[in-house]
Amino acid sequence: MKAIFNPKSVFFIAGILIGTLFSGLYLYYVNTKSVPAGVTPDSFEQQILYVGLIYFAVIVQCRLIGRFVTYISSKGDK
């Protein structure tokens, strides 16, 4: 059976969208909450690093799920 869509690209795009959502929530939380006394807030460089790590983790996980779905669907075709 021929696939109508490429699951790998769908999961990659889903990873980008989920990463954007989580990064936005992280930046909103970090920049709107007041910092308790004695605690230094995250610097701009740390925020950029954390956003990059969030994107990396989410995209890798979505791609792994995409590979798993492709593997399971190819098993069902046999």
- Predicted confidence (pLDDT) per residue in 36-74, tens digit: 777 778 889 999 999 999 999 999 999 999 888 888 888
Task: Confirm whether 70 is domain-assigned.
Answer: yes
Distance separating alpha carbons of residues 23 and 54, to the nearest angstrom: 7
Task: Confirm whether 1 is domain-assigned.
Answer: no
Confidence grade of residue 4 (pLDDT, cut at 50, 70, 90): low
* pTM for the model: 0.76
Task: Confirm whether 37 is domain-assigned.
Answer: no
Task: Confirm whether 71 is domain-assigned.
Answer: yes
Q: Count the domains in the chain.
A: 1
Task: Confirm whether 69 is domain-assigned.
Answer: yes
Task: Confirm whether 73 is domain-assigned.
Answer: yes
Residue 54's domain spans which residues?
7-32+42-77
Measuring CA to CA, how many Å separate 60 from each of 16, 22, 24, 26, 73?
10, 14, 18, 19, 20
Distance separating alpha carbons of residues 15 and 70, to the nearest angstrom: 16
Distance separating alpha carbons of residues 72 and 7, to the nearest angstrom: 12
Task: Confirm whether 2 is domain-assigned.
Answer: no
Task: Confirm whether 68 is domain-assigned.
Answer: yes
User: Shortest CA distance to 19 belongs to which of 50, 44, 64, 65?
Assistant: 50
